[in-house]
Amino acid sequence: MPAAGTGEWPFHGLDIPALAAGGWRPVPFSEFVLKIHGRCNLACDYCYVYEGADQSWRDRPAAMPDAVLDAAAARVAEHARAHALTRVAVVLHGGEPLLAGRAAVAAAVARFRAAMPPSCEVEAGVQTNGVLLTDAMLAMLDEHDVGVSVSLDGDREGHDRHRLRANGRGSHAEVMRGLNRLAGSYRRLYRGLLCTVDLGNDPIRTYEALLETGPPRIDFLLPHGTWTAPPPRRPVDGGGTPYADWLIAVFDRWYGAPRKETGVRLFEEIMNVLLGGQSRSENVGLSPVAMLVVDTDGTLQQVDSLKTSYAGAPETGLTVFDHPLDDALWHPGVVARQIGRAALPGTCAACAVRDVCGGGAYAHRYRTGRGYLNPSVYCPDLKKLIGHIGRTVQRDLALAGPAAGR
């Protein structure tokens, strides 16, 4: 019996030799997610790593060994030289990456910067739950110029509904202590907040709670789900648009503010593509995705939100020890994220917002038996949200008149 997923698109039905024969070539990787620690100090009930269909974290090292770090740095440097890259982003991730400790985090960043060719800049960042943002940790991150993004789901009630300690205690107070330190003396490191949408939370109260520390950007994330395992309260029969309604309330509050309070990545990327720009987000538009994950054991993986699809979904079968990163560029799952419209099902072809939506987040397209050749399980929500933003922007451009085009 074939392994899960191997008989489904893109493993079955995507003709990569034909693409290559027709002149298509992949875009080199420029963002690398390092799982420097594979465990977490929270037990969030929606976590795709620990609560998803893929439980491979149990069999991997808790922390990334030095040998994996060195091999990963060498492979990224090799890739940068081969493709004459002038900049790469290295994101420290987990689990909770700061569990690795200050020395290990500092060493990881230093290893990558030392390995890169002089012509290639390393932009280092960390995605954290914020609990371990002590003064000592922030001083180290400041010394090594590591940007910090923090997960926060709104006010205390909204955040603590899901983002809990293993003993059931909420984490909001600890996260806010860390955030206040970051937003104070270390503000130059503050990159923004990630907030997972919860329909049980009031959208305006959530947004305004997120503004308290003056984040430069907020990224609203739709809860991970598929056609096989739908997200909370997302009807799979196409009825209703609960997530669009929630996000539209936030958009109107954000867009209608008398001054810009923060950036909101989802809204800005939709507006950018509507106005003819290229998407810089893997969740919007048709721009090629150029990101690769290195797990604690050195395996090379696709975006790890695919863990919600089925066990082994993110795997490429490659490692930093045995394979150059160019090998991963030709993996069917990576190719599917780089070929734009060719990766969309026929149902998307005539959709008016196809090129803005881009099919939605890849992980949200999965259906057992068909793989990822489907529209997003959030399709009705995405249509409504994009339509609302488009009409709002068109109205304001019309009111501005010819001067808007100058």
In a domain, 6, yes or no: no
**HSE-CB for 253 with a 13 A CA cutoff:** 18
Q: What is the mean pLDDT of the chain?
A: 95
pLDDT of amino acid 403: 55
Q: Which residue has the higher pLDDT, 392 or 239?
A: 392
Tens of pLDDT, residues 116-132: 999 999 999 999 999 99
**Residue 3 has what DSSP assignment?**
P
pLDDT band at 384 (very low <50, low <70, confident <90, very high): very high
pLDDT band at 1 (very low <50, low <70, confident <90, very high): very low
In a domain, 4, yes or no: no
CB 76 within 8 A of CB 325: yes
In a domain, 406, yes or no: no
Query: What residue type is 373 in one-letter code?
Result: L
The dihedrals phi and psi of 89, each to the nearest 5 degrees, come to -105, 130
Tens of pLDDT, residues 42-73: 999 999 888 888 999 899 999 999 999 999 99
Spatial separation of the C-alpha atoms in residues 326 and 78, rounded to whole Å = 10
Beta strand segments in 25-74, E? 31-35
pLDDT band at 4 (very low <50, low <70, confident <90, very high): low
In a domain, 105, yes or no: yes
pTM: 0.95
The dihedrals phi and psi of 9, each to the nearest 5 degrees, come to -65, 135
CB 76 within 8 A of CB 70: no
- Radius of gyration over every alpha carbon of the chain, rounded to an integer in angstroms: 21
pLDDT (average), residues 87-111: 97
Residue 331 has pLDDT above 80, yes or no: yes
CB 284 within 8 A of CB 356: yes
Residues of the domain holding 65: 26-397
Query: What residue type is 286 in one-letter code?
Result: L
Q: Who's near 377: CB < 8 A, 6+ residues apart?
A: 225, 226, 227, 230, 231, 234, 236, 360, 364, 365
In a domain, 63, yes or no: yes
In a domain, 11, yes or no: no
pLDDT band at 406 (very low <50, low <70, confident <90, very high): very low
Residue 392 has pLDDT above 60, yes or no: yes
Q: List the CATH number of the domain containing 45.
A: 3.20.20.70
SS3 330: coil
In a domain, 180, yes or no: yes
Q: Given the structure tokens 């060994």, which residue do they identify?
A: 65
Q: Given the structure tokens 């909101």, which residue do they identify?
A: 264
Tens of pLDDT, residues 287-305: 999 999 999 999 999 999 9
In a domain, 405, yes or no: no
Number of domains into which the chain is organized: 1
